[in-house]
Amino acid sequence: MKSIATVGLILAAAGLWPSAPAAAQDLKVALISSKTGPLEAYAKQTEAGFNLGLEYLTGGTMTVNGRKIVVIAKDDQGKPDLAKSMLEQAYIDDDVDLAVGTSSSGAALAMLPVAEDAKKVLIVEPAVADAITGDRWNRYIFRTARNSTQDALAAAVALGGGEASIATLAQDYAFGRDGVAAVKAALEATKSKGKVVFEEFAPQNATDFTASAERIFEALKDKPGRRILVIIWAGPSPFTKIMDLKPERFKIELAPGGNILPVMKTYKPFPGIEGAVYYYYGFPKNAMNDWLVAEHTKRFNMPPDFFTAGGMAAAAALVAAVKKAGSTDTEKLIAAMEGMEFDTPKGKMTFRKEDHQAMQAMYAFRVKADGKSEWDLLDLVREIPAAELPVPIRNKR
């Protein structure tokens, strides 16, 4: 007599035995960031926010559409050549469905053609250079991060409309030069009476700003209207070192951009200073941010930071896109993501169809005089809605 197992094999071969359903294939995602080098803090926050986002958005199951999410983390060290090769490896050797990255604008720009060659989606977070969704863009690129122009437009709104002579201090690479160009364009777009009268570029890893400050002070000291120094800097900020050189002697104000909490903590001795920020944990009022603040504080003993929110936004875009597309097929993802609105810790974001830039709110802030705790740093002046930020479309579609 044949055994049940043997009968089963015969029936299965004949197509008469019901087979077990095939297990759903893992949903593989590459998360590329710059965990080695000056942007280490940014990268670690992005990774933490991304993983927290996946946890929140999947109800702790880490699955979407029945597929287990597998995150393959890679460190590009902020080096463009390494970022490029790591994305190639992720798409080809690791066979990821899509990728997220990276911290450095220079590294992100190197990754763009790789996504196009592989015909797979790359969600850019947190790099901000305008060129990423501008003249270097391709249809496989979606960006949850804000761009340099969004930063600059928000800063222009925060500065107000009065007459101002503005100098800029920025790093001498893609992020810094892009940022300065964006400031000038933003002042024009918002019909501001402010004008950039001097530009100072310093090495990316500069630590001594004495010579730069002297040139800036000399250029501004006799100029009309408010005299404002706008700092555009990634990594350890020169803010404190510039303030130590006493710009107030020449009635020069500093307008620091938003940054990570340890950097913004250096603003505390200067209450009343105003600027614009992409995210500060106390500003957005929505369920996702409430969860992020509570959970991050419980796990890490401090509130979520600037790039934590960005990582969570990237996770939100990924989950929303896969659910909407019902697939990780690239063409279906692109069709789903163009014009897609999705929830983030900052509230709603929308991928603009023309260039796949996430349109989003920004925040005008004032440094607190009486923070109640170590991280109670900023007062909200007002939320600046996306509708008030006229971000131009710069790509050629």
d(CA 96, CA 119): 12
pLDDT number for residue 237: 80
For 175-228, write each residue's pLDDT tens digit: 889 889 988 988 888 888 889 999 999 998 899 999 999 999 999 999 999 999
Pick the CATH number of 149-277+363-388 from 3.40.50.2300, 3.40.50.1000, 3.40.50.720, 3.40.50.300: 3.40.50.2300
Bridge partners of 98, per DSSP, are: 29
Nearest to 260 by CA among 49, 113, 7: 49
Of 248, 277, 252, residue with least CA distance to 263: 277
Report which residue type is found at 58. T
The reported pLDDT for the residue numbered 23 is 55
Count of alpha carbons within 13 Å of 84, Cβ hemisphere only? Answer: 11
Looking at residue 256, its pLDDT comes to 78
Paired tokens of 143 = 């960006």
State how far the alpha carbon of 261 is from the alpha carbons of 49, 212, 237, in Å: 15, 25, 12
Buried b / exposed e across 169-200, counting CB within 10 Å, b at 16+?
A: bbbebbbbbbbbbbbbbbbebbebebebebbb
Calpha distance 347→345 (Å, rounded)? 6
What would the mean pLDDT of 158-167 be, rounded to a whole number? Answer: 85
Torsion of CA 167, 183, 79, 146, to 10 degrees: 140
Percentage of the chain with pLDDT > 70? 94
**Which pLDDT score is estimated for 255?**
84
pLDDT tens-place string over residues 323-360: 999 999 999 999 999 999 999 999 999 999 999 999 99
- Assess whether pLDDT exceeds 80 at residue 12: no
Distances in whole angstroms, Cα of residue 83 to Cα of each of 80, 127, 357: 5, 13, 21
Domain range list for the chain? 27-146+284-360, 149-277+363-388
Distances (CA, A) of 119 to 224, 238, 287, 290, 338: 52, 40, 35, 36, 16
CATH numeric code, 27-146+284-360: 3.40.50.2300
Q: Which residue type does 137 have?
A: W
Bridge partners of 100, per DSSP, are 31, 123
What was the pLDDT predicted at 162?
80
pLDDT over threshold 60, residue 254: yes
The span from the CA of 62 to the CA of 145, in Å, is 23
Amino acid letter at 220? L
Q: For residue 362, give both structure tokens.
A: 């920004």
Q: CB of 9 within 8 A of CB of 51?
A: no
Backbone angles phi, psi at 366, to 5 degrees: -130, 135
Q: Do domains 27-146+284-360 and 149-277+363-388 have the same CATH topology?
A: yes
Nearest to 140 by CA among 91, 75, 71: 91
